[in-house]
Structure formats: C-alpha cells, structure tokens
C-alpha cells in the first residue's frame, strides 16, 4: 500500500496529472474521502493533463459530468446525494462503466451493488499539513 502526502491543492492536482500519464484508456477509479478531502481537486489535475481547459467541478447535483477530449471519454461521478443505489440504474451506470473510458467515482460506497469493482481505489484524508492519499488498490500494470 502506497501513500502520498499532498501539502497543497497544487500537489493534489499534480498527482491527478500523474494519474493521467499512467492509467489505461479504460479504468474505474474509486475516490474515497470526506467532503473537502481533495477528490475533485485530483480529478481537476487529471482533466487538465488530458487537455481540458474549462471548469472541473464536482457533479454533486448532476451525478455525472462527461468529458470528451482527443477522441477519449472521461466520466466524473459524485454519488454524495444518491438516496438509493438503485438510482444508478436509472442513469444507466452500466452503460457508462462499459464505455472505453476513464470513470472517476466519488462516494462509491453509496453505489454499492451497482458499480462492480474498481481498478484503482484512492482514499484521501485531510491532515494538519494538507492531504494524505492512500492507494488501497492498484490494478496490475499500473505504477505510481
């Protein structure tokens, strides 16, 4: 299990950019952490490295934000406001997860039973000096 100390938001974005360099074109990443732990900041760094120049915000109300860049698909899910995991059926979660794309899923525990397994699980917590990121799962062939 690897862990990283990310002292600033810039460090968190840089870690997201590093993920862009090492993740395969199809990958499911679970992001675990409380509100304010830096999950969306990490995704922002990833999306900037992918070439996205617009805003990257947490899709708390929309549940999913979709990005298409250079013929690649990226999905950012935030399940925080999900009342029942069955709601994921209604938005077609199975279709998203089958796409040849990268899916970041915040609050995956709220979608239990509908998400399958992740290729990467990152747990983020705040510390006195910034954030701690723990790699809880890393699929074979991905190196951080």
Q: What are the average pLDDT values for consecutive 10-residue runs of the chain, which has 144 residues?
A: 93 96 95 93 95 84 87 94 90 92 96 92 93 93 85
pLDDT score, position 29: 97
In a domain, 38, yes or no: yes
- Environment class of 113 (CB within 10 Å of its CB; exposed 0-12, middle 13-18, buried 19+): exposed
In a domain, 144, yes or no: no
How many domains does the structure of the chain reveal?
1
In a domain, 1, yes or no: no
CATH code: domain of residue 23 = 3.40.50.300
The tens digit of pLDDT for each residue in 65-94 reads: 999 998 999 999 999 999 898 999 988 999
- Beta-sheet pairing, 27-32 with 64-69: unpaired
In a domain, 143, yes or no: no
Domain limits for position 39? 6-138
In a domain, 118, yes or no: yes
Nearest residue to 61 (alpha-carbon basis) of 49, 43, 47, 76: 76
pLDDT score, position 121: 97
């Amino acid at each position: 299990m690897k862990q990283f100390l990310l002292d600033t938001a810039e460090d968190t974005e840089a870690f997201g950019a590093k993920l862009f360099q090492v993740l395969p074109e199809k990958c499911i990443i679970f992001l675990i952490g409380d509100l304010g732990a830096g999950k969306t900041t990490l995704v922002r760094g990833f999306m900037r490295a992918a070439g996205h120049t617009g805003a990257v915000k947490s899709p708390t109300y929309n549940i999913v934000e979709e990005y298409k860049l250079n013929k690649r698909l990226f999905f950012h899910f935030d399940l925080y406001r999900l009342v029942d995991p069955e709601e994921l059926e209604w938005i077609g979660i199975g279709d998203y997860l089958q796409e040849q794309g990268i899916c970041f899923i915040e609050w995956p525990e709220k979608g239990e039973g509908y998400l399958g397994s992740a290729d990467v699980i990152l747990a983020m917590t705040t510390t006195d000096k910034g954030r701690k990121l723990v790699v809880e799962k890393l699929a074979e062939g991905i190196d951080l």
